[in-house]
Amino acid sequence: MIDITLARPVRRRPSINRTVAVLCLAVLVAACGKKDEAPVAAATTEQAAPAVTPATAVSTKVSAMSVDALREAASKAYTENRLYAPAEDNAVEYYLALRDKLPGDAAVSSALVDLLPMTVIAIEQSVNREDFAEAQRLAALLEKADANHPALARLKESITARQAEVATRTAQQALTAEEQAKKQAELEKQRLADQKKQQEDAAKKLAAQQTADREAAQKRAADQRAAEQRETEQREAEQRAAQQRAAQQAATASAASTAGSDLRALSTPAPRFPPEALRSGQSGEVQVEFTVGTDGTVTAARVVRANPPRIFDREAVNAVRKWRFQPVAAPVTTRRTIGFDPGQ
Instruction: Write the DSSP assignment of 219-263 as a string of letters.
Output: HHHHHHHHHHHHHHHHHHHHHHHHHHHHHHHHHHHHHHHHHHHT-
Helices 106-128, 91-101: axis angle to 10 degrees equals 140
Q: Which helix (H) or strand (E) holds 323?
A: none
Task: Using alpha carbons, select from 278, 282, 259, 277 the residue that is nearest to residue 336.
Answer: 259
How confident is the model over 106-131, as pLDDT tens digits?
A: 999 999 999 999 999 999 999 999 99
pLDDT the model gives residue 58: 97
Q: Give the angle subtended at the CA of 131 by the CAs of 129 and 135, to the nearest 5°.
A: 110
Q: What length is written for the chain?
A: 344
195 has pLDDT over 70? yes
Phi, psi at 236, each rounded to 5°: -65, -40
d(CA 211, CA 205): 10
d(CA 243, CA 64): 71
Higher pLDDT, 246 or 328: 328
pLDDT the model gives residue 245: 79
pLDDT the model gives residue 167: 92
d(CA 107, CA 113): 10
Q: Which CATH superfamily is domain 265-340 in?
A: TonB (3.30.2420.10)
How confident is the model over 242-290, as pLDDT tens digits?
A: 888 777 666 555 555 555 568 999 999 999 999 999 999 999 999 999 9
Residue ranges of the chain assigned to CATH 3.30.2420.10? 265-340
Q: Torsion angle, CA of 53/59/65/67, rounded to 10 degrees?
A: -30
Give per-residue burial for 103-123: e unless 16+ CB within 10 Å, then b.
Answer: eeeeebbebbebbbebbbbbb
What is the average pLDDT across 132-147?
96
Which range, of 169-178, 181-190, 207-216, averages the lowest pLDDT? Answer: 169-178
pLDDT the model gives residue 177: 84
For 59, residues 6+ apart whose C-beta sits below 8 A from its C-beta are 87, 88, 93
Residue 31 — pLDDT band, cuts 50, 70, 90?
very low
Higher pLDDT, 40 or 277: 277
CB 111 within 8 A of CB 18: no
For 302, residues 6+ apart whose C-beta sits below 8 A from its C-beta are 288, 289, 290, 317
d(CA 136, CA 113): 20
Burial class of 102 by CB neighbour count within 10 A (0 to 12, 13 to 18, 19+): middle
What is the average pLDDT across 302-324?
97
Helices 106-128, 152-173: axis angle to 10 degrees equals 30
pLDDT the model gives residue 91: 97
Between the CA of residue 67 and those of 62, 72, 99, 104, what are the distances in Å?
10, 9, 10, 13
Mean pLDDT of the chain: 84
34 has pLDDT over 80? no
Sheet strands side by side (includes 332-340): 298-307, 284-292, 332-340
Higher pLDDT, 179 or 22: 179
Residue type, 83: L
What is the average pLDDT across 147-157?
96
Phi, psi at 291, each rounded to 5°: -120, 130
pLDDT the model gives residue 291: 97
pLDDT the model gives residue 173: 83
Beta strands in the chain (DSSP E): 265-267, 284-292, 298-307, 324-325, 332-340
d(CA 76, CA 95): 12
pLDDT the model gives residue 38: 40
